[in-house]
Amino acid sequence: MSEQPGSTRREALGVGRGAMGGAALLALTPGAASAASAPAGGIFALPSTRARVPVPRDAPAVRTDGYADAADGGGALYRRVATAPTHRGWFRSSDGALWELAEDAPSVRAFGAVGDGQADDRAAIQAAIDFVAARGGGGVTIPVGRFRLGTVSAPDNTGPIALWMRSGVRLHGSDRSRSVLVLADAQRGPGTFGRIIASGVLTDASLADFTLEANRAGQGAERDATNGAAIMLGTAGAHVERVVIENLVVRGANGQAIQVVGHPDAISRDVTICGNRVEASSFIGIQVSHFIDLTIDNNDISDCRDNGIDIYGDNFTNNSTTPTSTQARIARNRVRRCASGAFLETVADVDVTGNLFDGCRVTGVHVNRIHGEPSGIMVQNNRITSTPIGASITGDTGGVSIQGNNISRFTRAAIQFGLDGQGNVSFVTATGNVFDCRGVTCPVVLGDSPKGTLSWIRVVDNVVLGLPKPEQLFVNRFATSNVVRVGDFIGVQSDLPRG
């Protein structure tokens, strides 16, 4: 591409970006290439949106090879329109004709994104999202490249964001490992509520198939914040419905990596988070609050400073005993080296099935109560290894069942009632589990709440490998116990390799 004397390609590209949404003729460079071809099937070919080539009057559409030049990958299909659109997805050819983007899933390069890791591509990607939302929804494609993002103030004034998701938009990469969004350095200030991809109310939307480098290390003194997220959908009393987050890589989040936020008065519905890889968040890996119908499936989560998976449903508006979060399936996830593998707080009707929780610092699965009563919790067929506590429960419940799990290399207890040393625990059943006690000297079942009451507990017909001493099977430090049955262990002396 020829350039104006003294200009750089970056400057020339910037001029093209500015003209993309304006009413004026796109900036043309003296001596620019004029190559073009005749219509083929009614579509006229242009080397770029800047080409100084008149388009035949009978051509209903043009296809560009590039946005600013033929080599930048920003090519797209445009259709002739009579009036200038109000969005950025159009251009004016040199003969004065107007052309509107007609791609089903336009590339962000068609809006001026560069993807070289240096230019700030935030505005171009936001323009693509806004364009697709304005025409009623559809896909936005992040092609191969490193798209650097600065931040601006969120539309709802809740703090800085890079991208604001819109209802109906599918933001998808073309290659998960090579379609990369990266947060620029120093985008957080003291006390800010920073997010990279955020939304208010959001419906019928998805994020998929790209990498998000949240650049926690580049945020200076704010690199270990807990009041932000790499992805936060729904905030400030908003909710989301029919939203999918799948096949992403999220690295180095400052706060949560993936967060979907409902509200007791605005419940989120039909949320799916699957097939993602989350690495090294400064707070929680995947967190969802105030929902109905949630699936968290087949994710890899590692090295978060807090919980790997965290779901929450306390009604803080009126302190109701009924959870606001119900109907969740947490399945086939692999959570390593986080605080707790899965932390279930004041939720109901939740299945935690077929997961691996490995090397977590506190517990594999923890069920906790605030005001609302956890109920209908099934913890089944999970493998929990190398955590101090396999499964723990704190607070009176409406029913927790722990069945068919394999718990090994625990150093405090396979099952513990009362994680924080106080409060009551009730209505818990544990059967059919395998507790690998080889090399273990701590209790298999521990009740650890000297000021609380333990009620309606049934722990029977579980296998213990290694034949622990009888006094290790159940240690109860609760002040009061009521209808508690812990026993009928099936002891097996085994020299089999550890699972």
Say what the pLDDT of residue 364 is. Answer: 98
Beta bridge mates, 246: 208, 274
Identify the segments of the chain with pLDDT beneath 70: 1-41, 189-191, 225-226, 493-499
Kindly report the CA angle at 133 between 128 and 136, in degrees rounded to 5?
Answer: 135
Beta bridge mates, 491: 464
- This prediction has a pTM of 0.89
What the block records as the tokens of 94 is 């040199």
Residue 383, CB half-sphere, CA atoms under 13 Å: how many? 10
pLDDT by residue (tens digit) across 198-255? Answer: 999 999 999 999 999 999 888 877 777 667 899 999 987 788 999 999 999 999 999 9
Say what the pLDDT of residue 128 is. Answer: 96
Q: What are phi and psi of 111, to 5 degrees?
A: -110, 10
Say what the pLDDT of residue 498 is. Answer: 52
Cβ pair 482, 453 in contact under 8 A: yes
What the block records as the tokens of 254 is 């400052």
Cβ pair 288, 244 in contact under 8 A: no
Q: Which residue, 446, 438, 426, is CA-closest to 486?
A: 446
